[in-house]
Amino acid sequence: MRPLSADFVRSCLDRLRARGFTFVVTSALSEAECAGFFGVGFDVQEELELLAHDLHTIPEVQHRLRRPRRRDRRRVLAVDATAFDTFWRLHEGGLEDALGATPAVRFRVHGRRDRLDSYVIGGRGAGTGYIQRLAVHPASRGQGLGRSLVGDVLRWMRRHGAGRALVNTQLTNEAALALYRSCGFRVLPEGLRVLARAL
């Protein structure tokens, strides 16, 4: 797919401005996809590492995970709010977007009904798996929950025919980078960028 032209991006911004929006943030973009956005005044909001896993050696799942119920969504968002800075936090619409981003999805949580402490959302499509979102409450870190969540979703991807898995995270998120590397991910040479601009 060809990158979006500056003219096309400009026309989208005009429509957003007409609807009352005052600020725009892109999804994670490759370097080639950024040109049209830079051409109309976007700046880099965040630089991301892109990591890949070959799905051969997968961490063990050492915690009991479960499928969330609809009523767990509020608790999932509460965990997310403790795990991420304000810019990266999910709201209800963002959670729905993450769950609908790929043709197939796996959503697992850990914890009791009254107190969830971690969750993962994985997706797959066209032979590739994606870790869409992973969060562990700060009070529950250091117990191997992140490894169990990663292991669960990678096994699901491999079981359903994915050939590799991808995940991205901020360059500054040392804890996430250490987790993914310890689970067998490798950093790819091409990174991603999230761009933003005021309208």
CATH code for the domain in which residue 109 is found: 3.40.630.30
pLDDT the model gives residue 112: 78
The answer to whether residue 33 is domain-embedded is no
Q: Is 22 helix (H, G, I), strand (E, B) or coil?
A: coil
d(CA 150, CA 122): 9
Section 93-112 average pLDDT: 94
Does residue 186 carry a pLDDT above 90? yes
Q: Is 172 inside any structural domain?
A: yes
The answer to whether residue 17 sits within a structural domain is no
Residue 70 lies in a domain: yes
Answer whether residue 64 is part of any domain.
Answer: yes
Whether 114 shows a pLDDT value over 90: the answer reads no
Using CB atoms within 10 Å of the CB of residue 174, give its burial: 0 to 12 exposed, 13 to 18 middle, 19+ buried.
exposed
Max Cα distance, the chain (Å): 51
**114 part of a folded domain:** yes
In this structure, is residue 39 part of a structural domain? no
| Distance (Å, whole) CA 83 – CA 78 | 9
How would you class 32 by CB atoms within 10 Å of its CB: exposed for 0-12, middle for 13-18, buried for 19 or more?
exposed
Q: How many domains, in total, are found in the chain? A: 1
Band of the pLDDT at 115, cuts 50, 70, 90?
A: confident
Confirm whether 198 is domain-assigned. Answer: no
Q: For the residues 148-160, what does the mean pLDDT come to? A: 98
pTM over 0.95: no
Q: Residue 168: which domain range? A: 49-189
